[in-house]
Amino acid sequence: MIAFDFFCGCGGLSKGLELAGIKVLAGFDIVEQYRETYERNHNAKFICEDVRNINLKYLKSIYTKLGANKKNLLLAGCAPCQPFSNQQKHPETHKDRTLLDSFGRIIDEVKPGYILLENVPGLKTKGADVLQRFLDILDKNGYYYNYDILNAKNFGVPQNRKRFILIASLYTKPGFPEITHGKNLLPFVTVRQTIERYPHLAAGETNHEIPNHQSASISELNLERLINTPHSGGGRKNWPERLVLNCHKGNYTGHTDVYGRMCWDKVSPTLTARCCNISNGRYGHPEQNRAISLREAASLQSFDDDYIFYGNFVSVSRQIGNAVPVKMANELGKHILQLKKL
């Protein structure tokens, strides 16, 4: 089976599909900064192009050169999730809201044998109209499909990461891969099992022997706050009054995870584009006085250490936080290959 990865970012989905045995021909993304990371970690092209401009003729020119046909073609898409996230207060006006429509147009033109769609759970609620238009295209073209909310932690990813997943096929009704971790199964993979092995870092320090093992600098005041945050799960509620932010004083109860430490023996919270900054979530190292490093974040997204990210700190953090976890993508890829055998 061959595949195109739309909105590919740094290539987490592509890597998982490749490990499953699917040949990814190209990844498409509008952000040129992702090219080096993608192409250095894949035997696939990175095509910097707006999905709105991609058409059947363009795709066909790529896959027909390899003697492939669309019956064995998977179109995978992870359209930007910001329009449908819990943080988005005005989803109906977000500039990226209609990108899924463009992916649907490509499917309507190409009619691939298989489709994989990933997004945040909010696609079912905040994006219900967008999702329905996409489903209408699948119905029009005779696809069998199934969709649900899956959690990456159930597939061996050391992270609580719920995602909307849709699988479609022209040939058979798809299900979903069997979960491997959870109640009466393998135990969830923990933060300790994933990042304890990395060398100690101070805030703002870089380890030059391990690629991307770099932590963000923090102010003296935030360093003092971390020193006063109990190890493995402590948070801002443990601080003395003099360290509490003005916006958190009084009866404020929101954003309880910001400035918090991860727990050693649990899965990590959901990583975001700012997952290496303590002010954006429970992204503090369980015991060292810093945020998790870029490498640690990548590992919590189930990237192997030989997957190297390129760009400045902010760009790499965004690449990692927005990626599809590799192990989850791998299970989805293996399941789609099983569908092909039915």
Residues annotated as catalytic (active site), given as ranges: 81
Distance CA 266, CA 70 (A): 42
**What letter would DSSP give residue 283?**
-
Give first-to-last CA distance, the chain, whole Å.
14
Distance CA 239, CA 169 (A): 53
DSSP symbols for 75-142:
EEE----GGGSTT-S-GGG-TTTTHHHHHHHHHHHH--SEEEEEE-GGGGTTTHHHHHHHHHHHHHTT
Reference 201, options 226, 225, 230, 183; nearest CA is: 226
If one counts every other C-beta atom within 10 angstroms of the C-beta of residue 334, the result is 16
Q: 294 near 309, Cβ under 8 Å?
A: yes
Distance CA 30, CA 13 (A): 16
Reference 76, options 130, 19, 115; nearest CA is: 115
> From the DSSP assignment, how many helices (H) and strands (E) are in the chain?
10, 9
Q: 225 near 239, Cβ under 8 Å?
A: yes
Q: 335 near 167, Cβ under 8 Å?
A: yes
Residue 337's identity, in one-letter code, is L
